[in-house]
Amino acid sequence: MLDNLIQYGDEKNREWALTTLRISERFRGKRRAVGNVSFAISPGQKRRTIYDAKTSTSLPGVLVRGEGDPPSADQAVNEAYDGAGATYDLFRDVYERNSVDDRGLRLDATVHYGLRYENAFWDGNQMIYGDGDGQLFNRFTLAIDVIAHELAHGVNQHEADLDYQNEPGALNESFADVFGTLVKQRSLNQTVDQADWLIGVGILTSRVQGQALRSLKAPGTAYDDRILGKDPQPSHYANRYQGTSDDGGVHINSGIANHAFYLAAMAIGGYAWEKAGRIWYFALRDILRSKSTFQDAANATILIAEQLYGSHSDEQKAVRSAWQQVGVI
């Protein structure tokens, strides 16, 4: 998406996109360096601290809201606070996980990072949110699933730690999307039939021809815009991207695994975070490793479905069928 903005946007668009890409690459390097180091608090205690960078790139910024403080007059602060809380609650209440690292990591976030920064990011220790350029992108705290997506990168960091390139990288992005949509659906109390299965509704401005950043239901249909280009995600393994851009297509081929989760969740029915989400979570936690491929993810989720719900159960059949439908097995 940012590559298209650099190619087809005006001079200001290109400048903002290039700045965003440079900063994002720096953070990815930091996330790899941090590894599994964590800064924990007492087990079982939710603690959120929200900072304001005031458009600078110095972290963490000025503390503007701590755990239990009343809402701020700044909506970005409240969105970051509430989104972190909803993500923490999903992992604690449904998967019995103690914060991002399962050891009580404090949830720090910085809003208003950089000038017109067009991204949100987990840097290995904390969340960072840009305000967007106001022309193509709104502030990145607007969408709770984007907040949860980035925090889920932290969960991956402390579990499978999937490499950020090629198929492991696409799985890294997909698991983040899966947990992002689960947090959103749970916060709205939506069943699989009620959910829109879109990631990032509201992030794109009204100037953009698009409804969201990605679609788990129909990868490749989230946007089709003159400047941002067309959503490049495939829904079938036969159509996977095999080039070197985007770290080997991590944001592109994630659509394949995303669609597999959507198909499994729809077949199982009910609330996606209960059975389908549980299967995906335990596969990430207990089986997958840094070099895992789509085939590994399929095998892992099928095995976890059997362990949780029984051999030849409806749940296991749904998971197996989902991976078959997207061409992975």
- The residue annotated as part of the active site, out of 150, 159, 173, 315, is 150
* Residue 157, both tokens: 């960091």
Contact in structure between 156 and 176 (CB atoms under 8 Å): yes
Burial pattern 289-321, b for ≥16 Cβ within 10 A else e, equals eeebebebbbbbbbbbbbeebeeeeebbbbbbe
Contact in structure between 83 and 186 (CB atoms under 8 Å): no
| Nearest alpha carbon to residue 248 among 163, 154, 139, 156 | 163
Give kind and range of the element (H or E) at residue 262.
helix 254-268
Give the number of other CB atoms < 10 A from CB of residue 325: 16
Contact in structure between 28 and 124 (CB atoms under 8 Å): no
> Does a cis peptide bond (omega within 30 degrees of 0) precede residue 70?
no
- Which sign does the torsion angle of CA 241, 242, 245, 248 carry? positive
Give kind and range of the element (H or E) at residue 80.
helix 75-93
- The residue annotated as part of the active site, out of 112, 149, 251, 259, is 251
Structure-token match 């904390």, residue found: 126
Q: State whether residue 53 is helix, strand or coil.
A: coil
Active site residue 251: yes
Question: Looking at the chain, which runs of residues are DSSP E strands?
Answer: 48-52, 62-66, 107-111, 120-122, 127-129, 198-199, 214-215, 224-225, 229-230
| Nearest alpha carbon to residue 213 among 222, 226, 224, 202 | 222
List the end-to-end C-alpha distance of the chain, in Å, as a whole number: 29
Cβ-based burial of 284 (10 A; exposed 0-12, middle 13-18, buried ≥19): buried
Active site residue 167: no
Catalytic residues: 150, 251
